[in-house]
């Protein structure tokens, strides 16, 4: 007999939970994205800025891969962010063909203010939960975070 903690979810159960979690995640992100309107930036620009603010200095190619867009698309996005004073593009001193992309203080500030607005909105939503519901959500976070950070190229049988 296997213990409850050691047992694995059955495929049908996992598929049902995956469908519900996927839907809930999308709805939650849409709900919180309303707060991003105050930034004055489009979703793609905010997303690219977020990668640079929280991930650090990067190349245009790496940023395009992270955002899953083609380099010409990312070049246009970065050009707009540079023009707005939210990013800087600096030539690599060792390889002049490479541009290093970094956030400016203004870009970092704008993104952190947006994150604070989204967290405040979500905090208000969480404060409305019954104690047991809140405990259930908080208890699931470790597992959800582990799934979210899993290697996207790794699959298990």
Whether 86 maps to a domain, the answer reads yes
Average pLDDT of the segment spanning 65-74:
93
Whether 48 maps to a domain, the answer reads yes
Q: For 81-116, how does the pLDDT look when each residue is reduced to its tens digit (9 = 90+)?
A: 999 999 999 988 888 888 899 999 999 999 999 999
Predicted pLDDT at 125: 94
Whether 112 maps to a domain, the answer reads yes
Whether 54 maps to a domain, the answer reads yes
Top pLDDT among 97 and 68 is at: 68
Predicted pLDDT at 83: 96
Whether 5 maps to a domain, the answer reads no
User: 82: domain range?
Assistant: 32-116
pLDDT above 70 for 144: yes
Whether 134 maps to a domain, the answer reads no
Domain count, the chain: 1
Q: For 3-47, how does the pLDDT look when each residue is reduced to its tens digit (9 = 90+)?
A: 456 678 788 888 999 999 999 999 998 888 888 888 889 889 999
**Cut 0.85: pTM above it:** no
The residues, any chain, with a CB within 8 Å of residue 87's CB and separated by 6 or more, are 49, 52, 78, 81, 101, 102, 103, 104, 107
Whether 136 maps to a domain, the answer reads no
CATH number reported for the structural domain that contains residue 101 in this entry: 1.10.10.10
Task: Indicate the pairing of strand 87-91 with strand 58-59.
Answer: unpaired
Predicted pLDDT at 10: 87
Whether 105 maps to a domain, the answer reads yes
């Amino acid at each position: 007999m296997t213990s409850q903690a050691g047992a694995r979810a059955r495929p049908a159960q996992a598929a049902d939970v995956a469908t519900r979690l996927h839907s809930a995640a999308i709805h939650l992100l849409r709900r919180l994205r309303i707060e991003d309107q105050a930034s004055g930036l489009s979703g793609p620009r905010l997303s690219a800025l977020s990668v640079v603010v929280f991930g650090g200095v990067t190349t245009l190619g790496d940023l395009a891969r992270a955002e899953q867009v083609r380099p010409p698309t990312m070049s246009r996005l970065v050009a707009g962010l540079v023009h707005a004073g939210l990013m800087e593009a600096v030539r690599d001193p060792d390889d002049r063909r490479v541009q290093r992309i970094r956030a400016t203080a203004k870009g970092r500030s704008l993104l952190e203010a947006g994150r604070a607005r989204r967290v405040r909105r979500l905090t208000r939503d969480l404060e409305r939960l019954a104690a047991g519901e809140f405990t259930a959500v908080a208890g699931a976070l470790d597992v959800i975070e582990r799934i979210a950070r899993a290697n996207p190229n790794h699959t298990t049988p």
